[in-house]
Amino acid sequence: MRSRIFWILVIALLLFLGYGLLPVKFPDRKQDYDAPNTLFITNQECGCPCPNARVLKGKLVAADSILLQYPGLIVDAGEIELENFPPYKKPIADYGFIAFNQFKVKGHISGAYAVYCDPGGCKYVPKFTVESWSMTTYYAKFWLFPAWLAICVYYLFVLSAACFDNICAVQVMGAIYVRIAGQAISINCFCTIFRKL
């Protein structure tokens, strides 16, 4: 009976970890940034009210109607305000995911975002509506698990080790990252489980 519980726990653990190790989105490594409005972006780092993305590669092309409507629009500023970008929405909306990844986005300029205004006029950066997006690096789904699910995986790991009694001592090391108050901390568990004689 104990061996059956062990294998059920191991299979459940492997399913959790297998799903958790899948990428959020499979990375797109094509370097087709010469196409208009195909951009390689990262999150904006400044804390002031400013556009939410920096353009690392790519060429922005604005329609003539947008350029006429916003004469102070700086198309080659290297910054854009993203609209309709799924990582900013739930269930992904996680600062670590957005801040530490770079993305490839395709879309069009739909308007302008005022950077600052003075009596002489306003300076604008493009509002970029995202039509499709992809990641450029691997990021596991496991990092987006809520804290309660990460703790469940951790205890599944410990329980499966506790049910394993085919050898005298089993040293188990598990590193599970649990999100508490928006920050990831590492919990390292070193357990030595001895079979009672």
Do residues 45 and 130 both lie within one domain?
Answer: yes
Query: Are residues 98 and 43 in contact, defined by beta-carbon separation less than 8 angstroms?
Result: yes
Do residues 50 and 79 both lie within one domain?
Answer: yes
Query: Are residues 157 and 170 in contact, defined by beta-carbon separation less than 8 angstroms?
Result: no
Name the pTM for this structure: 0.67
184: number of Cβ within 10 Å: 12
Q: What integer pLDDT is reported at residue 107 of this predicted model?
A: 92
Do residues 94 and 169 both lie within one domain?
Answer: no
Q: Taking all residues of the chain, what is their mean pLDDT, rounded to a whole number?
A: 74
> Given the DSSP bridges, would you call strands 121-135 and 102-118 parallel, antiparallel or unpaired?
antiparallel
Tell which wins on pLDDT, 71 or 172: 71
Do residues 128 and 151 both lie within one domain?
Answer: no
How far apart CA 143 and CA 106 sit, in angstroms, is 25
Q: Where in the sequence is the domain holding 186, given as residue range(s)? A: 2-22+142-194
The answer as to whether 33 is a domain residue is no
Do residues 109 and 71 both lie within one domain?
Answer: yes
Do residues 68 and 119 both lie within one domain?
Answer: yes
**Buried/exposed code over 35-61 (b: 16+ C-beta within 10 A; e: otherwise):** eebbbbbbbbeeeeeebbbbbeebebe
Do residues 134 and 171 both lie within one domain?
Answer: no
Place of tokens 């350029």: 67
Tell which wins on pLDDT, 152 or 169: 152
Number of domains in the chain: 2
End of a domain among 97, 112, 138? 138
How far apart CA 115 and CA 123 sit, in angstroms, is 6
Residue 174, pLDDT > 90, answer no
The answer as to whether 166 is a domain residue is yes
Q: What is the pLDDT of residues 12-60, one digit of tens each?
A: 778 877 888 888 888 888 888 888 889 999 888 766 667 888 899 998 8
Q: Judge residue 10's burial from the number of C-beta atoms within 10 Å of its C-beta, 0-12 exposed, 13-18 middle, 19 or more buried.
A: middle
Q: What is the pLDDT of residues 112-142, one digit of tens each?
A: 888 777 787 778 888 999 999 998 888 888 7
